[in-house]
């Protein structure tokens, strides 16, 4: 029999455990039993909707604030032995493999408390992903509770000689206003993140997680949309519904101006795909675009409005999350991903890239560059066409960045306002703030309209001539 952990009774004085307090995602459940996974064991158990599912089952659990843990506890209340994988997800969504059992098998026990030490040693965990091979252990594989084992003592500090003093954050600009929450039309008791503001600043797409109307398994992250009202506030957000939302997790990735298409990342299991959606005037039509062959574990991405540049964040073994770019040629063929260079990729985690309409100014989040706390927002400018030479990252500073995590920035074509995610007031809420001129991208003007013949019929083809006083005409 393969031993995959130590079976220990729950005794007074045993190692401290932080029990899950929220279920983020389950692939299936019987009679809303997923709620029983939270809190300490109480005799009530989660059960999959069917036994022996050859696809297995995946549970994603949250523990409040990030927890430094050295192992996991699974209270298997019926048919133990199906545990296959444990993965930790941090606040950026990056997943780290903590434990793998390639050959789950039945145990000679009706139930057990399983304690599994992490192969990585102590690690910070925001969410724990539990994968079960249910067809390897016949019958219903039920779980009463899932927890994290806390270290008995604080982990030792690194040797003194290896410690490097952290440089103060490089901060530019001066904000004349304070960040403002986007109001009850957008923010809710659930997590809101990954904002994408339209080039004209009038429409906001974002992710809402855990809402009961979401289509993903266990209300996993769906795409939502809100429009700016005449008084400047944001209207009540609506779920985009099918086919834009499905059983996986969706994240907005860009709006292309030539055809007004909304692109988004869809994450299912360990796969990532860039999907195109187009508004027909009555409903959304989902299309599969000609897109880069993305790595399977992309965390976030942004497609520039011209549709020819895609920047994204993905894990690199031994480093963390790095920033990459893919470029399309005139025929729409995408080149291979390439790193944005050591000036941006710090060896820590960089995520949430957003390339402004000027095609030069990049906003991103990092915990590797000097900052104010967890993840801070930064800005950098592209120096040439190699896409590897960038100006030194500039920390946006206070009042945007805080000791908490600020991530996933978005800016309209005017460059005048910043939209971003912060967890200063909960799991994640959306904020906005006017950008000072020193931090704004180069201004980009938007022209919208229709070309028609004199009799009013739409023109199939047209040449536009742009004339500015004192400048040569452009077409």
DSSP 318: T
Query: Dihedrals φ, ψ of 35, to 5°?
Result: -60, -20
Alpha helices in 299-361 (DSSP H): none
Report CA 61 to chain centroid distance, whole Å.
16
CB burial of residue 173 (10 Å; 0-12, 13-18, 19+): middle
What pLDDT, on a 0 to 100 scale, did the predictor assign at position 100? 86
Q: What b/e sequence results for 65-74 when a residue is b if at least 16 CB atoms lie within 10 Å of its CB, and e otherwise?
A: ebbebbbbbb
Distance in angstroms (rounded) separating the CA atoms of residues 325 and 364: 13
Q: Is the dihedral of CA 94, 98, 104, 108 positive or negative?
A: negative
- How many CB atoms neighbour CB 160 within 10 A? 6
* Maximum distance among all Cα pairs of the chain, rounded to whole angstroms: 86
What SS3 state is found at 240?
coil
Q: What angle do CA 274, 418, 430 make, to 5 degrees?
A: 70
79's CB contacts (< 8 A; 6+ apart) are 106, 137, 138, 139, 140, 141, 142
Which tokens belong to 157? 């500090």
Where in the chain are the domains?
A: 6-149, 180-439
Which tokens belong to 137? 């252990």
* CATH homologous superfamily, domain 180-439: Glycosyl hydrolase domain; family 43 (2.115.10.20)
- How many CB atoms neighbour CB 472 within 10 A? 6
Answer whether 186's CB lies under 8 Å from 430's CB.
Answer: yes
Q: Which of 218, 214, 159, 177 is nearest to 192 (CA)?
A: 214
Distance in angstroms (rounded) separating the CA atoms of residues 103 and 237: 45
Distance in angstroms (rounded) separating the CA atoms of residues 242 and 222: 10
Q: Which of 319, 268, 278 is nearest to 298 (CA)?
A: 268
* pTM assigned to the model: 0.66
Answer whether 388's CB lies under 8 Å from 339's CB.
Answer: yes
Please give the average pLDDT of every successive group of 10 residues along the chain, which has 475 residues. Answer: 35 72 86 89 92 83 86 94 87 76 88 91 88 90 94 52 45 75 93 94 93 78 94 94 87 82 83 84 74 82 92 88 92 88 90 95 94 89 92 91 93 94 86 92 72 72 66 66
Distance in angstroms (rounded) separating the CA atoms of residues 381 and 439: 10
What pLDDT, on a 0 to 100 scale, did the predictor assign at position 447? 65
Overall size of the chain counted in residues: 475
Q: Which of 29, 419, 359, 441 is nearest to 206 (CA)?
A: 419
Q: Which of 414, 422, 341 is nearest to 381 (CA)?
A: 341
What pLDDT, on a 0 to 100 scale, did the predictor assign at position 273? 85
What pLDDT, on a 0 to 100 scale, did the predictor assign at position 8? 36
220's CB contacts (< 8 A; 6+ apart) are 24, 25, 60, 209, 214, 247, 248, 249
Which tokens belong to 433? 């703030």
377's CB contacts (< 8 A; 6+ apart) are 363, 364, 365, 395, 396, 400, 401, 406, 407, 409, 418, 420
Taking domain 6-149, whether its CATH number is 3.40.190.10 is answered by no
Distance in angstroms (rounded) separating the CA atoms of residues 183 and 431: 9
Distance in angstroms (rounded) separating the CA atoms of residues 362 and 325: 12
Do the strands 71-78 and 249-256 form a parallel or antiparallel pair, or are they unpaired?
unpaired
CA dihedral 424, 429, 432, 436 (to 10 degrees): 30
Which tokens belong to 58? 């995946």
């Amino acid at each position: 029999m393969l031993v995959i952990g130590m079976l220990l009774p729950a005794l007074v004085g045993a190692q401290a455990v932080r029990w899950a307090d929220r279920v983020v995602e389950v692939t299936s459940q019987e009679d809303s039993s997923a709620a029983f996974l939270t809190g300490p064991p109480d005799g009530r158990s989660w059960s999959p909707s069917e036994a022996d599912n050859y696809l297995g089952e995946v549970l994603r659990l949250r523990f409040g604030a990030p927890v430094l843990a050295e192992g996991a506890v699974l209270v298997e209340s019926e048919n133990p032995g199906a545990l296959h994988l444990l993965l930790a997800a941090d606040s950026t969504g990056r997943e780290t493999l903590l434990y793998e059992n390639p050959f789950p098998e039945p145990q000679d026990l009706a139930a057990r408390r399983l304690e599994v030490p992490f192969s990585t040693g102590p690690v910070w965990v925001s969410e724990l992903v539990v994968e079960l091979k249910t067809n390897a252990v016949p019958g219903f594989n039920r779980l009463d509770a899932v927890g994290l084992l806390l270290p008995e003592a604080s982990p030792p500090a690194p040797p003194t000689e290896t410690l490097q003093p952290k440089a103060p954050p490089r901060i530019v600009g001066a904000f004349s206003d304070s960040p403002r929450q986007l109001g009850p039309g957008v923010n809710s008791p659930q997590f809101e993140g990954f904002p994408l503001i339209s080039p004209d600043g009038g429409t906001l797409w974002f992710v809402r997680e855990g809402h009961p109307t979401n289509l993903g398994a266990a209300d996993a992250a769906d795409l939502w949309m809100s429009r700016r009202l005449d008084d400047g506030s944001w209207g009540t957000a609506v779920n985009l519904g099918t086919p834009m939302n499905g059983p996986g997790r969706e994240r907005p990735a860009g709006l292309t101006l030539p055809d007004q298409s909304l692109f988004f990342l869809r994450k299912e299991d360990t796969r990532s795909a860039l999907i195109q959606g187009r508004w027909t005037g009555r409903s959304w039509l989902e299309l599969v675009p000609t897109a880069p062959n993305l790595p399977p574990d992309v965390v976030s991405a942004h497609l520039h409005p011209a549709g020819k540049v895609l920047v994204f964040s993905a894990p690199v073994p031994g480093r963390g999350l790095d920033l990459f770019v893919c470029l399309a040629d005139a025929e729409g063929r995408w080149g291979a991903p390439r790193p944005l260079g050591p000036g941006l990729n710090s060896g820590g985690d960089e995520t949430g890239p957003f390339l402004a309409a000027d095609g030069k100014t990049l906003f991103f989040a990092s915990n590797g560059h000097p900052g104010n706390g967890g993840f801070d927002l930064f800005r950098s400018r592209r120096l040439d066409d190699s896409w590897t030479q960038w100006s030194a990252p500039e920390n946006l500073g206070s009042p945007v960045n805080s000791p908490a995590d600020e991530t996933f920035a978005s800016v309209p074509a005017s460059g005048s306002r910043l939209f971003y995610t912060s967890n200063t007031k909960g799991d994640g809420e959306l904020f906005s703030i006017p950008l000072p001129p020193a931090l704004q991208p180069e201004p980009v003007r938007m022209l919208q309209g229709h070309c028609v013949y004199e009799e009013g019929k739409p023109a199939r083809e047209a040449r536009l001539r742009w004339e500015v006083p004192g400048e040569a005409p452009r077409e």
